[in-house]
Chain A
């Protein structure tokens, strides 16, 4: 049974697909034996495709093609990893802020860093006790009399 040329053209389109690939090629081969027009069309198409393949093989990839490709793969991998761990980073930032605030509140201003201007010292009071007296307070009333 000879199939119509229109169906042959459709089959040629399907021949590169996986589902009908083998069946289509068998049927279209039989058609081209009996149809000279389709046979010449097929030869021309084959020549054109060969030419295209030949021309495409003439292209040389750019020197950094591999590096760029690898870099892009790595970037994609890191991006995916970052996306995966982004909740962890958010959690870490929030927890760090909370703990920092808690420690600052708990430890008080004594642990806070301070910016010193000038010599960084207040003038000493004139009537302060001697360093010995203020260093270790004693209950001895005689000490206060001195």
Chain B
């Protein structure tokens, strides 16, 4: 090994040691190598709307978790017993008593009562909720707690927030919105009682919109406010002119019935609603989240995925060296061993990918190993030319890409985040597609051997051994270099998306207002 190569090797390992030990980057290497599939810290957390509830309701966060689950059950129309309904009502009542300024508990209480058939009590609670000062469903606080718990297991990484963001439940507000439409159906625009119910509905929507920490929930709040001014006969997709006229009619009707203060408040709320709608319609929260989530996953997994490529390359190099040194081992490249191996690997390729063409290609590649030059050189040249090197480089880069894809999909961040950003199932959750593609790359390397053996008049098995060694060294070196480069880049990328993702998780509306 030349002096320069020794220095380069030392530099790579020196850099890797620093990256594996530094507090800002160490979670990207050794701990990341153990983080595959679902994480107990996230899957068994009682704070993430995953169906696991705290055994006892000791805090408002506990009550929020229980009521979120209750609303999810109501939305999906799952069977619920009267005892369960009674439990939910009791939780809502106690939470409302200990958090008297929060309208959320009363609204959910009203929804549950309405679902159980007690419509009068539900309406009374609905109107009482409209007089509360704030709205908080405590989901943001629960997610913050869940994030802190997950950080103890996985380090302070941005993908944790990206994994929690899609867990936010909108079931409660969807039920509240559906209930508000039901209330408005029976509220007239011409009599004082109906107008008061409409005004209370508008106030409830305003509370939800202002207290929401999620654009989807804010939009439901906006819809409640808007619907409060619509006459029951209005079609579902009104024209702007129709909307404006219905608003004016609602406000004039309030004034005509002596509800001056309510009219002013309603006018103000509807004007603010336009501003909110302008903001929520302009932003594309899904796209923004997807961009941040992609960066978060890539920054947490790519360094270890390149390291995995490097380790795979070292294994390939060992295999090539073994074939090169042991003459008897090279017998596997000649019939009948090549045929047996071809059939075995073809079966494996079919079982992994399910593609018959992959199996056929594998079998043919092993079969072609039987082809060799009729006359061999007594002193073969060690170099096989620039085209051979170029082919190896292309195969190396393809293999690194596919191995990285597999590692990203099978890792814990990929497991939780990729589904929420609409990555197809074929590319995530440890899909064997990428493994199949790695196998195809290896088959290509098998095809190189007979071709170059014929041209250079060298024994095919010797070219195959050389190909494996060269490919292994390329994979190992390029993988190590990429892992070292990806380390600081990942730390930077992770830090740059950590704050936006944290803001989007805890208060999305505020993030877009900044």
Contacts and interface: CB of A to CB of B under 8 A. Distances in A.
A binds B: yes
Interface of A: 84-85, 87-96, 98-100, 102-103, 106-108, 111, 135-143, 145-146
Nearest to B218: A139
Contact of B22 (A88, A103, A108): A103
A106 B210 contact: no
A87 B15 contact: no
A142 B134 contact: yes
A121 to B, nearest CB: 21
B411 interface: no
Interface of B: 3-4, 6-15, 17-19, 22-25, 101, 133-136, 140-141, 144, 207, 210-211, 213, 484, 487-488, 491-492, 495, 506-507, 509-510, 513
Contacts of B506: 136
Given A87-B4, A136-B213, 11 more contacts: A85-B10, A92-B15, A94-B14, A96-B18, A99-B18, A100-B22, A107-B491, A138-B136, A139-B210, A140-B211, A141-B210
A64 B432 CA distance: 63
Contacts of A137: 507, 510
A138 B488 contact: no
A19 to B, nearest CB: 36
Contacts of A89: 10
Contact of A138 (B484, B487, B507): B507
Nearest to A107: B24
A26 to B, nearest CB: 46
B378 to A, nearest CB: 34
A95 B11 contact: yes
A-side interface mostly: helix
Given A103-B19, A142-B210, A91 B6 contact: yes
Nearest to A106: B492
A115 to B, nearest CB: 16
A85 B213 CA distance: 58
Nearest to A89: B10
29 contacts: A84-B6, A87-B3, A87-B10, A90-B7, A91-B8, A96-B14, A96-B17, A96-B18, A99-B14, A99-B15, A103-B24, A103-B488, A106-B488, A106-B491, A107-B24, A107-B495, A111-B23, A138-B211, A138-B213, A138-B510, A139-B210, A139-B211, A139-B510, A140-B134, A140-B135, A140-B211, A142-B133, A143-B133, A143-B134
Contact of B19 (A84, A90, A99, A146): A99
A88 B9 contact: yes
A91 B14 contact: yes
A142 B265 CA distance: 14
Contact of A136 (B141, B491, B495): B141
B270 to A, nearest CB: 16
Contacts of A139: 210-211, 509-510, 513
Contacts of A106: 24, 488, 491-492, 495
A111 B7 contact: no
A107 B492 CA distance: 6
Contacts of B22: 100, 103
Nearest to B4: A87
Contacts of A87: 3-4, 6-7, 10
Contact of B11 (A84, A91, A142, A145): A91
Contacts of A92: 10-11, 13-15, 17
Nearest to B19: A99
B207 A88 contact: no
B11 to A, nearest CB: 4
B14 A93 contact: yes
A99 B25 CA distance: 11
A94 B495 contact: no
